[in-house]
Amino acid sequence: MDEYVPLARIQLLLRSAALALIALSPSPSNVAAKPQFAAMFVFGDSLIDPGNNNDLNSLAKANYAPYGVDFNGGVPTGRFCNGKTIIDYLGDLLELPLLPPYTSSSVNSGNIHGGVNYASAAAGILEETGQNLGERFTLSGQVQNFDNTLNQLKGQMNEQELSHYLASSLVVMVLGSNDYINNYLQPSFYTTSYFYTPEDYADLLIQRYRRQILALHSLGTRKFFLGGIGPLGCIPNQLATGLSSPGKCVSFVNDYVGMFNVRLRSLVDQFNRDYEGSIFVYGNTFAALGDIIRNASTYGITVTDRGCCGIGRNQGQITCLPFSSPCTNRNQYIFWDAFHPTAIVNQILASKAYGGTPSDCYPMNVQQMAQK
């Protein structure tokens, strides 16, 4: 069964105005309510991969215990978390069904009307990102997979129906973290840091990202939520490098991803000016997760600098291995493993995306997008 937050913790969480929106998640009495979008199509990396990497020749997999210990009866699904991902919680808030991974048999049989999740662990914006971990669906590959889904939909709807369906659907894109963790910050494997300054590299990423976003737009999608990169300098994997002082994040890593985020927000402004009738939103993951780290006690969290499951310094030098024993107080941890947040943090982030202020979502939140 999914993890339930104790009442005492809910009361503590609600001291933060941002968390008041958790109460909006659907109850058993309204799960049959009409979805707020026709469907949700998701593109991204391991933060939101629901199991697409399970059958790939990849080191980036989470289809083993203790992953999923608090989800689906404790049976691992391939989610890089102890429970639900941000996408799962956002889908709950939008009254959408649990999205199937692109590689599932249900997608092949045409069960795609509520949307599909194409996210793949180790994927990045650049084609070569993550190749050190083996096979993955790159961003361009994920866009191609969406085109395959579109061909299925064309056999189920007429042209007018499909156009309205796509324009009424939500596209969520969460990429960029691996372009740093599994590319730019690994000079022994990748050459990008030798050829690009941090500023030039951020420009390169935005240029390539822009191309793929517009490819999706050209296929008929009109509502985009583009998640920024979180404070990577604060994850256990980076803290374990010893490049920061105790209790401090790795500042230069956060500076690098900050350059990307500034450009992504500017891209959202440009898109909203250039494409009338479409909506592009920037999800400020950096600020949202940073707030949880800085004000952890407000959210009922006590452990901010190490993984619940992992090995070595900050439980981040080696990530969660098969049949490891994770911490038991998972709701008090920000990080599940060396790279990924716990389910409770995913729930908070989804709530901020759904109904947050302009500091969380710019220029509007997902709930407001649904009403446009």
**Per-residue pLDDT tens over the stretch 48-100:** 999 999 999 999 999 999 999 999 899 999 999 999 999 999 999 999 999 99
pLDDT grade, residue 110 (50/70/90)?
Answer: confident
- Active-site residue list: 46, 337, 340
Given a cut of 60, whether residue 14 has pLDDT beyond it is no
Q: Which residues of 50-86 are buried (b: 16+ CB within 10 A; e: fewer)?
A: bbbbbebebebbbbeebbbbbbeeeebbbbbbbbbbb
**Per-residue pLDDT tens over the stretch 250-293:** 999 999 999 999 999 999 999 999 999 999 999 999 999 999 99
- Domain boundaries, given as residue ranges, for the chain: 7-370
Mean pLDDT, residues 297-323 taken together? 96
Given a cut of 60, whether residue 172 has pLDDT beyond it is yes
Helix 285-294 vs helix 343-355: crossing angle, to nearest 10:
130
Quote the pLDDT of residue 221.
98
Given a cut of 60, whether residue 4 has pLDDT beyond it is no
pTM summary value: 0.91
Quote the pLDDT of residue 29.
41
Residue found by looking up tokens 């939101």 in the block: 48
Q: How many CB atoms lie within 10 A of CB 108?
A: 12
CATH of domain 7-370: 3.40.50.1110
3-state DSSP of the chain: CCCCCCHHHHHHHCCCHHHHHHHHCCCCCCCCCCCCCCCEEEEECCCCCCCCCCCCCECCCCCCCCCCCCCHHHCCCCCCCCCCCHHHHHHHHCCCCCCCECCCHHHHCCCCCCEEECCCCCCCCCCCCCHHHECCCCHHHHHHHHHHHHHHHHCCCCHHHHHHHHHCCEEEEECCHHHHHHHHCCCCCCCHHHHCCHHHHHHHHHHHHHHHHHHHHHCCCCEEEEECCCCHHHCHHHHCCCCCCCCCCCHHHHHHHHHHHHHHHHHHHHHHHHCCCCEEEEECHHHHHHHHHHCHHHHCCCEEEEECCEECHHHCCEECCCCCCCCCCHHHEEECCCCCECHHHHHHHHHHHHHCCCCCEECCCHHHHHCC
Q: What's the mean pLDDT when you consider all of the chain?
A: 92
Given a cut of 60, whether residue 6 has pLDDT beyond it is no
Please give the residue that has the higher pLDDT: either 259 or 7.
259
